[in-house]
Structure 1
Amino acid sequence: MYPVMRENVMRITAGMFVALLLLAACQPDEVKPELPTVIPTAVASQPTTTPQPIPTIQPLPTNTPPPTAVPLAPTAPAPIAIALPPEWETVVTAALTQLDNQQWQILPSDAPLDALGSGQAQIALSNGDAGSLVYQEPVVLAVPFFTPWEAVTLVEAEEILANGRNDVTILTWDEMTPDMKALRVDGLHPTDVAYPLQKRLTLTAVPEAQTAAANLTAALQTALAPEPDVKVTAVGDIMLARLLGELIEQGKLEFPFAPVAPHLQNADLTIGNMESALGTLGQPEDKVYTFRAPPEAAQSLALAGFDVVSLANNHALDYGPEALLQGIDLLNAANVAPVGAGADYAAAHQPYLTEINGLKLAVLGYVNVGMEGSPPYFVTESWTATETTPGVAWANPEEIMADVTAVHDQTDLVIVILHSGLEYVEQPGPEQIAAAYAAIDAGADIVIGHHPHILQGIEYYKDGVIVYSLGNFAFQIDGDPGT
């Protein structure tokens, strides 16, 4: 405020001084008394106040904590290079998705071990026996199913692998189709543990990659684990009366099946058709052929390795309902499951259910045969089980479809046993075909047939297999024993 007031005062004083000078200049030249000199009044100036400097406020000292150390991001491990045959690239790439804690580099190579040796790779996967075993699968010498050729020696097999042969297709086991069969090698089937022809994938790694190699091995073994399978053995007609029954009664329980028992026992599931009554009860029916095996025959079946037998045939009630029910009890006591007959309709149509190697299976049995003998003919259909009477499951196509449909969605494999056709006729009959087709149409995987007492053909129908007749298996017959 002070500097502004001083400036205004100084301006007025100067104006007054100039006006006096002009006034004096306008007077005439006459002698006048000398006027006193006017001296401008001194204006008292307010002293300029010098502003005092504002003292700087110093902050009080504080204890500042040291800066927090920020951890550095971990450095990603260097990629591990895997040399492998090109055909394994897809499988290995899929397995590596489970090992995302490590970076990988895939090097397709026709010589993976050379890439490992030159330092291009830290891990090598190779076909052969060079490293630790990761995976193996049988190599099959396959021929058309009906080729009359069953086996080769190991030397012959190695020659075929090296040079090829026009009538042999080399496949891995998972490439096999139902229309092909595998030649045995030195007597061994591809499913046998000691089978010599194997496709092997092995792994070799440098020392610093051993941990990664172990993780990769585990991932590959999981990815390459084979799909579960079930080995099913099925045979034709079994009739343990007559001479075989006499030998069983003498205590020779193993005699009827001794030559083939190892094969029956080696299967996961062994199925047959029990073509006779079983036990001591009942009276023979009024028909041409009536068979009844002794009670011990149930144990004979068990010792041979049978798991399931069908009673849906034209001899199940040869000695009446009492013998049928006694036979069912004897079989159950021997841990041989009967199907296709029972105390009533529901029991006769009841499937045998089991689980093998993680797969659920169902087995059903049916019969449809024509009139038997000479006039007056015996009609097997009269044995059909009802809601209140014992009997067999008749092979009505609609009922087969209903039964198969009922179990299809809760199982992985449905097997239908069918006793049908014409005796000693090579061609399947119309009722036989209709029943088999109905089973496959409803979702069954395989139909296993018998009754004609001779071999009949095999048909691949839609997604299923129909074996129309396996002929006789253990059956003392009046005619040609070759059946």
Structure 2
Amino acid sequence: MSRLTVALTGDCMATRGAPITADPAARALRDLLRGADFAFTNLETVPGAGRGHPVHNAAGGGGLIADAGILDGLADAGFTVLGCANNHALDMGVEGLLGTIDQLTARGVPFAGIGADLTAARRPVYVDRPGGSLALIACSATFLPGQEAAPPSPDLPGRPGVNPLRHTATLDVTAAQMKVLHEIDAQSGLRARRAEARTLLGIDPALPGPGRYTLYGARFRVADAPGMTTACDPGDLDGIERWVAEARSRADLVLVSVHAHEPGPTPEDPGEYLREFAHRVIDAGAAMVAGHGPHFLRGIELYRGRPIFYSLGNIVSQIELADRIPAEDYANVPGMRQLTPGRYFAELSGHGRRLFAPHRRYWRSLVPVLTFEDGCLAEARLHPVDLGFGEPVHRRGRPRLAGPVEAKEILTDVADLAAAYGTRVRLTPTGTGELVLPSPRPPDDTA
């Protein structure tokens, strides 16, 4: 019988060294990661400022750029395989992304989710251990236009970038509300300004079909009741699914990593497209799905006996310790004259009164350690993690196993979030949690 363990974590925003401190609880976390056959994290930092140029980040204050030495610290912490598909992968542009690839390749670090073209970004990376193999496929639903990898044409090379999971949002409106939208379009002059487009295209681009309307950058659809839903881009979904099926035939376990900030009806709910995606990749052969992006924990679903973590929060968060700030980000702080990284982040966060600093849930996380026997999930142990809420900026953001009180609070929250998917979390006397698993099914069962 083959037995493999996989430790999963969320976003790793390391900008300084030594992510594992001398705290015994931090060293215990490192032992946990090192003890797994595979330990995964999402690298949300550009490791090296020697290549590329800063790109404009629509969110502002978002450049995550650090010395390449952070990679050595992550290896020492026990991480053995990295996902790199996220909205910060191109903070230093295409050249910075290619520099990330070079840094990881030179160190022999397995990674997935970015590449010199779409095929390179989509394809899995395979990691072999004496007991078996893991394939990782990583993708991102959150990125700026043009940051998605593209295939070559007969005439030009492909575009370096992230493995994209594009999606659409549709607003459902009643027939009466749709009528009002038509009236606004006509009376505001928007329709008149599309005259040239109608001449060239032969159709009005705002009217893609009966009962549908595209206006103000949003898609509207006539329905019985108002609402909103999201759906995966079919081409991206099919493309990723194809590689998952390929990986399943070539590795014992397939891990799919997905970076997705977009919420559903509440911040704790993932966008509807994300659940559609997770189910499809498991149907194609994935053994587990690790989500991240919103920087706090979301629910856990067991689909066909295989775990989906809709967000694992952060494992390292040193955004405010970044010391390479683009000029456009400095400019977002009005009246700032003495341009230093520390003052910039202090002003941006209102000296700890806004953004992430005052929110406890941002500084709590979870490390699931999954045990698979012959490809079937046999155990899922949940380890609560504390990132130092309320500590000084230079100390918080480095992980340690949570103490008893904090651990119980984290696991209670996780149990409530998981219950929405019919998943039960059992708290144990040791301060960890366990997923209550159904009877195991063969990993290649597609019935």
TM-score normalised by structure 1 residue count: 0.47
CA distance in 2, matches of 1:440, 1:229: 20
Cα deviation per residue 1:319-370 (whole Å; 9 max; x = unaligned)?
111111111221222332121001111211121112334423211101102x
Measure how far apart 1:461 and its partner are: 1.1
Identity rate of aligned residues, in percent? 35
2:285 to 440, 443, 450: 443
Measure how far apart 1:254 and its partner are: 5.2
Aligned to 1:270: 39
CA distance in 2, matches of 1:332, 1:305: 18
Work out whether residues 248 and 286 of structure 2, in 8 Å CA contact, stay in contact via their aligned partners in 1: yes
Q: Structure 2 counterpart of 1:383, which letter?
A: Q
Superposed CA RMSD in Å reads: 2.1
2:268 to 426, 442, 449: 426
CA distance in 2, matches of 1:260, 1:321: 34
Measure how far apart 1:228 and its partner are: 1.4
Work out whether residues 420 and 431 of structure 1, in 8 Å CA contact, stay in contact via their aligned partners in 2: no
Matched, 1:300 2:70: no
Q: Structure 2 counterpart of 1:284, which letter?
A: P
Measure how far apart 1:258 and its partner are: 5.2
Measure how far apart 1:441 and its partner are: 1.5
SS, match of residue 126 in structure 2? strand
Cα deviation per residue 1:409-467 (whole Å; 9 max; x = unaligned)?
22221110111143691111112112212211211110011001111111111242211
Name which one, 1 or 2, has greater alpha-carbon Rg.
Answer: 1
Work out whether residues 307 and 335 of structure 1, in 8 Å CA contact, stay in contact via their aligned partners in 2: no
Q: Structure 1 counterpart of 2:7, which letter?
A: T
Q: Structure 2 counterpart of 1:467, which letter?
A: F
Aligned to 1:393: 163
2:255 to 391, 397, 415: 415
CA distance in 1, matches of 2:247, 2:312: 25
Aligned residue runs from structure 1 range 99-248, under 5 A:
227-241=1-15, 245=16, 248=17
Cα 1:284–1:355, aligned 2, differ >3 Å: closer, same or farther?
A: same
CA distance in 1, matches of 2:105, 2:48: 13
Aligned to 1:113: none
Q: Structure 2 counterpart of 1:305, which letter?
A: G
Q: Structure 2 counterpart of 1:385, which letter?
A: A
CA distance in 1, matches of 2:262, 2:6: 26
Cα deviation per residue 1:94-136 (whole Å; 9 max; x = unaligned)?
xxxxxxxxxxxxxxxxxxxxxxxxxxxxxxxxxxxxxxxxxxx
Aligned to 2:124: 351
Q: Structure 2 counterpart of 1:240, which letter?
A: A
CA distance in 2, matches of 1:360, 1:271: 14
Aligned to 2:309: 467
Q: Structure 2 counterpart of 1:363, which letter?
A: L
Matched, 1:384 2:148: yes
Work out whether residues 448 and 466 of structure 1, in 8 Å CA contact, stay in contact via their aligned partners in 2: yes
Measure how far apart 1:474 and its partner are: 0.5
Cα deviation per residue 1:44-82 (whole Å; 9 max; x = unaligned)?
xxxxxxxxxxxxxxxxxxxxxxxxxxxxxxxxxxxxxxx
SS, match of residue 4 in structure 2? coil
Cα 1:473–1:254, aligned 2, differ >3 Å: closer, same or farther?
A: closer
CA distance in 1, matches of 2:82, 2:133: 18
Aligned to 1:406: 246
CA distance in 2, matches of 1:334, 1:262: 22
CA distance in 2, matches of 1:481, 1:390: 37
SS, match of residue 382 in structure 1? coil
Work out whether residues 312 and 366 of structure 1, in 8 Å CA contact, stay in contact via their aligned partners in 2: yes
Work out whether residues 110 and 126 of structure 2, in 8 Å CA contact, stay in contact via their aligned partners in 1: no
Q: Structure 1 counterpart of 2:144, which letter?
A: T
Cα deviation per residue 1:242-287 (whole Å; 9 max; x = unaligned)?
xxx2xx3xxx575497562221111110000011211112222111
CA distance in 2, matches of 1:355, 1:297: 24
Aligned to 1:85: none
Q: Structure 2 counterpart of 1:386, which letter?
A: A
Q: Structure 1 counterpart of 2:65, which letter?
A: R
SS, match of residue 380 in structure 1? coil
Cα 1:435–1:260, aligned 2, differ >3 Å: closer, same or farther?
A: same
CA distance in 2, matches of 1:309, 1:434: 24
Aligned to 1:330: 103
SS, match of residue 383 in structure 1? coil
Cα 1:343–1:425, aligned 2, differ >3 Å: closer, same or farther?
A: same
Which segments of structure 1 move beyond 6 Å, counting only runs of 4 or more?
A: none
CA distance in 2, matches of 1:349, 1:460: 25
CA distance in 1, matches of 2:311, 2:19: 27
CA distance in 2, matches of 1:240, 1:464: 30
Which ranges of structure 1 fall in alignment gaps of 5 or more residues?
A: 1-226, 370-378
CA distance in 2, matches of 1:255, 1:475: 14
Matched, 1:360 2:133: yes
Which ranges of structure 2 fall in alignment gaps of 5 or more residues?
A: 152-157, 166-235, 320-354, 363-447
Q: Structure 1 counterpart of 2:296, which letter?
A: I
SS, match of residue 448 in structure 1? strand
Aligned residue runs from structure 1 range 60-75, under 5 A:
none
Work out whether residues 110 and 127 of structure 2, in 8 Å CA contact, stay in contact via their aligned partners in 1: no
Work out whether residues 440 and 446 of structure 1, in 8 Å CA contact, stay in contact via their aligned partners in 2: yes
Cα 1:405–1:240, aligned 2, differ >3 Å: closer, same or farther?
A: same
